[in-house]
Chains A and B, each alone.
Chain A
Amino acid sequence: MFALVLMSLRAKQRKGVEFFDVLLMEVCSPLEKASTLVIKTVQRTFQEHVFLVNVEKENRTLKRKVAELQEENRRMVEMKLANERLKRLLQFREETPLSMVGAEVIGQDPSSWFKSVTIDKGERDGVRKGMAVISAAGVIGQILKTAPHYATVLLITDYNSAVDSIVQRTRAKAIVEGNGENRCQLKYLLRTEEVAVGDAIVTSGLAGNFPKGLMVGEIKKVDKKGHGVFQYAELVPSVDLTKLEEVFVVMEPIPPPPPSTEEKTKKVKKIKK
């Protein structure tokens, strides 16, 4: 009945009900607003906290996956780098006629005064004291001590190391001696010999340990100060000896270089006399 009256009133004169409409709206809307707020708050609470249990789990899983992928990526990069290094070593091995065995560097010198590394090849692999240790970039050192499965390599930068060498450009003879941290010095180089910064130093092949013509390093500084028969030069090794990972041990003894034809004729003359 009330509804019918209201309907007829609405139909006839709208102004009459407008007051009720406004009143009701004014009363209800705040309640509605409050209710919506409560619902939204609850909903948000559920969404952000209660329902997030799964999200948190998912987040953890994703984080783990990201970490795994990063680790895999790091491994791949490491493998790529190792592959490139090994490729270079293989190429060097194929190009070099010498018999060599590859070895991995497994430890550094425990002291900071001496320069040596430990490799994972020893007497059982045919490694003997005095054998040359080289890499694609040049000379590394020589075998100092051996054990059945391991050996110690004395690096060319050690104070006790000496390598018979020549200046590649002028063929001047000298001895490369270790001078500590990734540096060597050129000794017994005659003052009359012309050497310059940037000259390459290669092995002479005379000492019997190292094959001839292997790169030792590059001259960094020439010292002609003072008086004397010799001049001195500072050398930077061609191999970064602080970052060694794989090396080659030259297995066969290096034969002394064949005498030149002039020397041969001199010897023949001496024998005839």
Chain B
Amino acid sequence: MKRFVPLLLAGILLLILQTTWWSFFPIPWIRPDFLLIFTLYLAFIFPPFLGGILAFFMGYLMDLFSGNTLGLYAFSRTLAFFATQFLKERFYLEGFSFQFLFAFVFSLLEGGFLLVLIHGLEPVSFENLYLSLFTHLLPQSFCTGLAALLLFPLFQMGTSLLLSQPKQGIKARG
């Protein structure tokens, strides 16, 4: 719980950043997804149960403040979390190129998944789907990848500060 609450607050802070400050970005439809990066990071440091709840909450926050009524993000973020959990034994979250690629690929996959869901729920021609793949999804994922280069080290610093235990005294150590 001690670790859970600060990370929850960090998620809320990132959401506020995403909905307010980042809206001043000159291209409004291309904005890095801070919460996705945070969710991916959580998968590397949290156990499945607690992290899963956090990931679900991050998605729920996205759903709450977006025009989406179906809870798509709550679903996709939890999926992204467990997919990362599955892969985390095979990778180290180190090196800029890996961090960039990791966030880029996950953003691309999540975007594609959401697009298919949206278009599945409201059938329109696949022409639009392909078009948004190039005009929205690729630049958006690229931006998320770039933001990950800055955010992953920041999260690592924050977590090490949060999880660092105070030095035990001689008595406590025995």
Partner-B contacts on A (CB < 8 A): 106-116, 118, 144-145, 152, 154-155, 158-161, 180-181, 242
Is the beta-carbon distance between A158 and B67 smaller than 8 angstroms?
yes
Is the beta-carbon distance between A111 and B68 smaller than 8 angstroms?
yes
- Give CA–CA (A115, B28) in the complex, Å: 11
- Is there a chain A Cβ closer than 8 Å to B65's Cβ? yes
Is the beta-carbon distance between A107 and B19 smaller than 8 angstroms?
yes
19 more contacts with CB within 8 A, not counting A108-B22, A111-B68, A111-B73, are A107-B16, A107-B19, A107-B23, A107-B65, A108-B23, A108-B28, A110-B15, A110-B35, A111-B33, A112-B28, A112-B33, A114-B66, A114-B67, A116-B66, A116-B67, A144-B67, A145-B64, A154-B67, A180-B132
| CB neighbours of A158 from chain B (8 A) | 67
Q: B50-86 interface mask toward A, CB cutoff 8 Å, 1 = contact, 0 = none?
A: 0000000000011011111100010000000000000
Chain A to chain B contacts (Cβ below 8 Å), 28 pairs: A107-B19, A107-B20, A107-B65, A108-B19, A108-B22, A108-B23, A109-B19, A109-B65, A109-B66, A109-B67, A110-B66, A111-B62, A111-B68, A112-B30, A112-B136, A113-B118, A113-B136, A114-B66, A116-B66, A144-B69, A145-B69, A152-B67, A154-B67, A155-B67, A160-B69, A161-B67, A180-B29, A181-B29
Q: Known A118-B19, A181-B28; judge A110-B65 contact (CB<8 A).
A: yes
| CB neighbours of B39 from chain A (8 A) | none
- Give CA–CA (A242, B122) in the complex, Å: 24
Task: Decide if the interface of chain B is mainly helix, strand, loop or mixed.
Answer: helix
Give the Cβ gap from A147 to chain B, nearest Cβ, in Å: 9
| CB neighbours of B140 from chain A (8 A) | 112
Is the beta-carbon distance between A160 and B20 smaller than 8 angstroms?
no
- Give CA–CA (A113, B70) in the complex, Å: 13
| CB neighbours of B115 from chain A (8 A) | 113
- Identity of the chain B residue whose Cβ is nearest the Cβ of A155 in the assembled complex: B67
Q: Which 8 A-B pairs have the closest CB atoms?
A: A116-B67, A114-B67, A108-B23, A107-B19, A114-B66, A110-B18, A158-B67, A111-B66
Q: Known A118-B19, A180-B132; judge A112-B31 contact (CB<8 A).
A: yes
- Is there a chain A Cβ closer than 8 Å to B114's Cβ? yes
| CB neighbours of B69 from chain A (8 A) | 144-145, 160
- Give CA–CA (A260, B138) in the complex, Å: 53
- Give CA–CA (A114, B69) in the complex, Å: 10
- Give CA–CA (A110, B36) in the complex, Å: 11
| CB neighbours of B62 from chain A (8 A) | 110-111
- Give CA–CA (A145, B61) in the complex, Å: 13
- Identity of the chain A residue whose Cβ is nearest the Cβ of B19 in the assembled complex: A107
| CB neighbours of B29 from chain A (8 A) | 112, 180-181
- Give CA–CA (A118, B64) in the complex, Å: 10
Q: B7-36 interface mask toward A, CB cutoff 8 Å, 1 = contact, 0 = none?
A: 000000001101110110000111101010
